[in-house]
Structure 1
Amino acid sequence: MRKRKNRFMNAVALLAVFAILMAGCSGNGGGNGNEGNGGIADKGTAEATDMTTKEIGYPDSISYWVSLNPNVSATMKDYSEIAAYKEVEKQTGTKVTFQHPPTGQEKDQFNLMLASGSLPDVIEYQWNQAPKGVDSLIKEKRIIRLNELIEQHAPNLTKVLNDNPDFRKMVTTDEGNIYVMPFLLGDPLLSVFNGPVLREDWLKKLNLEVPTTISEWETVLTAFRDGDPNGNGEKDEIPYFFSIADTDLNSLFVGAWGITADFYQEDGKVKYGPIQPEYKEFLTLMAKWYKEGLIDRDYATTDGKLKDAKVTGNQLGSLSTYPGSGIGRYTDLMKESNPAFAVVGAPYPALEEGGQSIGQYAFPFSTHGAAISASAKNPEQIVKWLDLKYGEEGHLLFNFGIEGESYTLENGYPKYTDTILNNPDLPVTQAMAKYFIASWNGPMVQDKRYIEQYYKLDAQRNAQESWSEADHSKRMPPVTLTSEESSKASAIMNDVKTYRDEMINKFIMGGETLEGFDKYVETIKQMGIEEATSVQQSALDRFNKR
């Protein structure tokens, strides 16, 4: 323990020295002066030189607003109980008071907090959901521009951004502002984490191969319906569970037509998938499958718990899910009741043999990160405190936890102990949450070695590999909307998505025939989808010019 503490303190000391050197080098450089930097004096003044060349300490306290991850709330009251945060408090002396909005009310609580003007020091959020856009929030002095503060007091993050120009491009707005200490995916392996899964034991019993095309999927689903894969003579199997939410995330099936269920871009031109002619073909197929009993009849009213019950009740043959909370969790849950239970990930299906489909993909930066409010009295110290997570020691701490407890170093590789991977009292995700935040997000660089160990089963690793073969080129990057664009797009898309989802269910379940698709498209156009598309196009054009 003493050895680990000494190494941490040495790292902190080195970072402090580095921060001084960085400040000395950049204190008189160019830039935008005090624009949006929370009250730091203009560069070049005696006060600014004083501030940027002397060492600063860590803050005594920080108020920190962030959503409460369910794996934390299962065993702890807030993030202050996570071992990584306890360790940072022990080493820096900074007391963090976490404020967690009620689960399910995060967006409403965020908007209320902004409207009230009473803001905590740090706000961690998915910022593409912020009203008016982040540049506007900086101008309105809700949050502050971080460019200069990062340059002067965050040597670790500065190195990450310098070493990865694409990261810097993504975290910088069209107006040149860096607004958060970002959550970054440190490897392409981390970008793909959802896709189609089938009951492998059912496939084997019915002598079927893993499907790769739409027609092969139809063959498999039909066999699941008719072939009695459970062998109980009841033929009560549900071949496929459809979900609008899954379609939004990963384009399962709709991606075979080269479109998505939201905005996508093709050769630099933005399009809205649900009004394309190809979307009618997708809906026609889903309606056919639903009528033939290949899709869960009750999909529209099936929540997460009921879906789990259908999987563990040996009813469901295929669905979209995750490697951890899906493949891994279901496999663990079925060990005793059905040892033969096995699932396999399938490639995103193409229309034809050798074709390619659009699949789920997350860009290295998805706009999630920790911003500093304009009311924070010590932004320099807060930036320095947050920057610890991007250094070597902090990186290990927030991805792997406490050395000797949650992980050990084996030839330089941080290997999780049985406390994490084989905890007799907790699922892996909850065991992880007691020590670190890598299994969800936060201001840090997520390490691929976390996922390499989290995926304990070959089925998980093979699924991720299969899903990664999909086309990701048409996915929209993390563009930034202006205040006017954000307000305009939100007003339009709230209505469009509500209507879209209502009509998808009607088309699939037979409440409306596909002859009404043209009228559906016209209605969405009347709602302003072309204007919303134009907004996305302008944002994409600006992003490409960064």
Structure 2
Amino acid sequence: MSGLALVSVLGTAVLAGCSSDNGDNGAASGDTGNSSTNASNDNFHKEGLPIVDKTVTLNALTIRWGNMGDSFTKNSWLQELEKNSNVKINWQVISNTDWETQKSVLLASGKMPDIIVGDLAFGDSDIVNNLTLFRPLDDYIDQYMPNLKAAMAEMPDLKKLSTFPDGKIYSLPARLPSRPYASQQPVINKEWLDKLGLKAPTTLDELYTVLKAFKEQDPNGNQKADEIPYSDTKDIDMNLFTPFGITDLRGNHMMIKDGKPEYIPTSDNYKAAITWANKLYAEGLIDQETFTQDETMLTAKRQNPDAAMIGFSYQWTPDAVFGPWSKQYETIAPIAGPDGEKYQIGDPNGLSFRRNELLITTASKYPEVAARWADQFYTGEASIQNFWGAIGTSISKNDDGTYTLMDPPDGTSADAWYWDSSLRDFGPKYVSPEFEKKIRLDPSSGDGLKLTLDSLGKDYVTQPFPDVMYTVDEYAELPTLTTDIESYIKSTRAKWITKGGIDQEWDGYVKKLNDMGLQKLIQIYNDAYDRYMTVK
């Protein structure tokens, strides 16, 4: 089969089961749980390479963004693994734009490939609601995956992250290399500050003074009152509330405060943050179109061809969205809140952990072969080659044991090149903190720039609500609860910021949320949190 199979109709087109170039030399296909004793046959090796003496072929499904295709399969590390392991991979690559409909057909048919690579394919609820299609992997990890087993011992969060509500592991995790601790950071127009003789703000009072100056003193110098002190995504970017200790990394309105889960939209800090935002909005310091503009309108403001228009926002890096004006912006340290403390959205364990990066299906006749193949990815050197590209192609291995990234081809961005050359964000990986010390990145661009900027906020990163999983019943109930509750929260937030009234209406707002089932929703979050925290 060719390396790239862009499937428009599933069913018979889906790679069903697995095949071998030499007949059935693996475990019985009927095994749906623990690894088969047939794995000890003469063809299979529990340790070392090759994994099998006679070639075994596994069919692998992966989902890629847009039209990325299968160029990653040319990665020389992957090709060497195939040669050294005697495990051939038939890659079935589907674009994410085509996947949602095809996924439903595939799950309904039950005709699964041997392995699923990358978390774009199946989310938690897909797996939880179709457990008969996916193998529990606990015994495979214990018997055949020493690299992953060691990684889980070093980083227990890998196991916590991968353990499903029934206590079993159905999907394999990843820890990506050289990821920051801080997520979105405060970004300000440094050229405007310099022109007005101002310093980067460090407190809310200083931020207010700067935003007011941006509005009133024509810092872009075009003799027009077109400056927008703060503008960001529709419904107000919650990052604006960060100085009040509000950080919502998961987007579910949950955070950890004083070691316990807290629901943000009924907290005192949330009320105080909205009161402050209302003051900014009333004085024209927040974009007056915030609650009506779409991304196209916002991008037009950020990249206005005549002059920079926006003074302050929160971004991944300062060059992320401002187009021709990017060089005017700089990332600054977190703004101190009313309590004098600084807070930064992110994760003190690093924004590097992923789950659902590889699943082995019950259709596979060779689960132990698949497990041993996947375990080869869980070394530092393997992982960086599956994140940036192969050594000798995208990465230089230096005489002192360090690694540096090569320059991309002319006319190609570094990020596009990495995606073209590797599995990038997808697939199993583990880079330990110790191995990360060997990686040398350019501090002026890309991943290296983000790590440089990370130093401004990493010491203030708050503990996020963990990436928990839910039971079948909880997944069924969550949409019913969150749809109305989320809609009500957004509408009241918009009203209070643009028109005020939060003090008079707060008690009624909380009561209505409770009437809509908020306590049941919070109980679901707390139950999932408790399960996560009890994983050993």
The two structures have a TM-score, normalised by structure 2, of 0.79
Measured after TM superposition, the shift of residue 225 of structure 1 is: 1.0
Q: 1:462 to 1:363 in 2, by over 3 A?
A: closer
- Of the structure 1 ranges 114-123 and 520-529, higher mean CA displacement relative to structure 2 is found in 114-123
Please, which of 289, 310, 332 is the counterpart of residue 316 of structure 1? Answer: 310
**Partners of 2:275 and 2:162 in 1: CA distance:** 40
Q: Deviations over 1:64-89 (max 9, x none)?
A: 133x235xx3x646654666555655
Q: Is the 8 A contact 2:281 2:498 kept in 1?
A: yes
Q: 1:130 to 1:230 in 2, by over 3 A?
A: same
3-state SS, counterpart of residue 480 of structure 1: coil
Measured after TM superposition, the shift of residue 192 of structure 1 is: 2.3
3-state SS, counterpart of residue 262 of structure 2: strand
3-state SS, counterpart of residue 544 of structure 1: helix
Q: Deviations over 1:344-393 (max 9, x none)?
A: 21233232474132523356534342222222332222222222211354
Please, which of 378, 384, 388 is the counterpart of residue 376 of structure 2? Answer: 388
Aligned positions of 1:37-56 closer than 5 A = 38-40=32-34, 47=38, 50=41, 54=45, 56=51
Sequence identity of aligned pairs in percent? 24
Q: Is the 8 A contact 1:80 1:96 kept in 2?
A: no
Q: Which residue of 1 aligns with 2:5?
A: none
Q: Output the aligned Cα RMSD.
A: 3.5
Measured after TM superposition, the shift of residue 259 of structure 1 is: 3.5
Q: Is the 8 A contact 1:256 1:350 kept in 2?
A: yes
Q: Deviations over 1:446-483 (max 9, x none)?
A: 5747986264259744431122132413x112323222
Q: 1:218 to 1:476 in 2, by over 3 A?
A: same
Q: 1:294 to 1:209 in 2, by over 3 A?
A: same
3-state SS, counterpart of residue 188 of structure 2: strand
**Partners of 2:229 and 2:141 in 1: CA distance:** 52
Q: 1:41 to 1:395 in 2, by over 3 A?
A: closer
3-state SS, counterpart of residue 264 of structure 1: strand
Q: Which runs of 5+ in 1 are unaligned?
A: 1-33
Q: Give the structure with the higher percent helix.
A: 1
Measured after TM superposition, the shift of residue 173 of structure 1 is: 3.5
Measured after TM superposition, the shift of residue 255 of structure 1 is: 2.9
Q: 1:82 to 1:192 in 2, by over 3 A?
A: farther
**Partners of 1:514 and 1:406 in 2: CA distance:** 57
Measured after TM superposition, the shift of residue 487 of structure 1 is: 2.2
3-state SS, counterpart of residue 376 of structure 1: coil
Q: Does 1:276 align with 2:267?
A: yes
Measured after TM superposition, the shift of residue 533 of structure 1 is: 0.8
Please, which of 425, 428, 433 is the counterpart of residue 443 of structure 1? Answer: 428
Aligned positions of 1:276-425 closer than 5 A = 276-313=267-304, 314-323=308-317, 327-329=318-320, 333-334=323-324, 341-352=327-338, 354-361=340-347, 364-410=352-398, 411-419=400-408, 423-425=409-411
Measured after TM superposition, the shift of residue 531 of structure 1 is: 0.8
Q: Is the 8 A contact 2:71 2:420 kept in 1?
A: no
Q: Is the 8 A contact 1:193 1:322 kept in 2?
A: yes
Q: Does 1:64 align with 2:61?
A: yes
Q: Which residue of 1 aligns with 2:233?
A: 243
Q: Structure 2 counterpart of 1:315, which letter?
A: M
Q: Which residue of 2 aligns with 1:117?
A: 110
Q: Does 1:206 align with 2:196?
A: yes
Measured after TM superposition, the shift of residue 406 of structure 1 is: 1.4
Q: Which residue of 1 aligns with 2:516?
A: 527
Q: Structure 2 counterpart of 1:535, which letter?
A: I
Q: 1:363 to 1:147 in 2, by over 3 A?
A: farther
Q: Which residue of 2 aligns with 1:9?
A: none
**Partners of 1:81 and 1:174 in 2: CA distance:** 38
Q: Deviations over 1:249-299 (max 9, x none)?
A: xx5232333334511233443221012233222122223222322122333
Q: Is the 8 A contact 1:78 1:98 kept in 2?
A: no
Measured after TM superposition, the shift of residue 429 of structure 1 is: 0.9
Q: Is the 8 A contact 2:234 2:293 kept in 1?
A: no
Q: Structure 2 counterpart of 1:269, which letter?
A: K
Q: Structure 2 counterpart of 1:167, which letter?
A: L
The number of aligned residues is: 484
Q: Does 1:163 align with 2:159?
A: no
3-state SS, counterpart of residue 239 of structure 1: strand
Q: Does 1:259 align with 2:237?
A: no
**Partners of 1:256 and 1:147 in 2: CA distance:** 42
Q: 1:303 to 1:221 in 2, by over 3 A?
A: same
3-state SS, counterpart of residue 399 of structure 1: coil
3-state SS, counterpart of residue 182 of structure 2: coil
Q: Is the 8 A contact 1:63 1:96 kept in 2?
A: yes
Q: Structure 1 counterpart of 2:262, which letter?
A: K
Measured after TM superposition, the shift of residue 109 of structure 1 is: 5.7
Q: Is the 8 A contact 2:123 2:356 kept in 1?
A: no
3-state SS, counterpart of residue 397 of structure 2: strand
**Partners of 2:277 and 2:294 in 1: CA distance:** 20
Q: Is the 8 A contact 1:199 1:317 kept in 2?
A: yes
Q: 1:110 to 1:196 in 2, by over 3 A?
A: farther
Q: Which runs of 5+ in 2 are unaligned?
A: 1-27
3-state SS, counterpart of residue 173 of structure 2: strand
Measured after TM superposition, the shift of residue 63 of structure 1 is: 2.9
Q: Is the 8 A contact 2:140 2:368 kept in 1?
A: yes
Q: Which residue of 2 aligns with 1:172?
A: 163
**Partners of 1:507 and 1:49 in 2: CA distance:** 66
3-state SS, counterpart of residue 279 of structure 2: helix
Q: Deviations over 1:307-361 (max 9, x none)?
A: 34323321121222112xxx24558x53xxx69x332212332324741325233
Q: Does 1:232 align with 2:226?
A: no
Q: Structure 2 counterpart of 1:495, which letter?
A: D
Q: Is the 8 A contact 2:379 2:429 kept in 1?
A: no
3-state SS, counterpart of residue 218 of structure 1: helix
